[in-house]
Amino acid sequence: MGRDAPLVSCIVPVFNASRFLRQALASILDQRYAPIEVVVADDGSDDDSVDIARSHGDRVRVVAQQGLGPAATRNRGARAARGAFLAFLDPDDLWHPDKLELQMRCLRDDSGLDFCVTHVQMFW
Q: Which of 65, 59, 57, 58 is nearest to 41 (CA)?
A: 65
Domain limits of the chain? 8-109
Quote the radius of gyration of the chain (alpha carbons, Å): 14
Of the candidate CATH numbers 3.90.550.10, 3.40.50.150, 3.40.50.300, 3.10.28.10, the domain formed by 8-109 belongs to 3.90.550.10
Q: Which of 24, 61, 18 is nearest to 41 (CA)?
A: 61
For the whole model, what pTM was predicted?
0.93
15-43 tens-digit pLDDT: 999 999 999 999 999 999 999 999 999 99
CA atoms within 13 A on the CB side of 38: 27
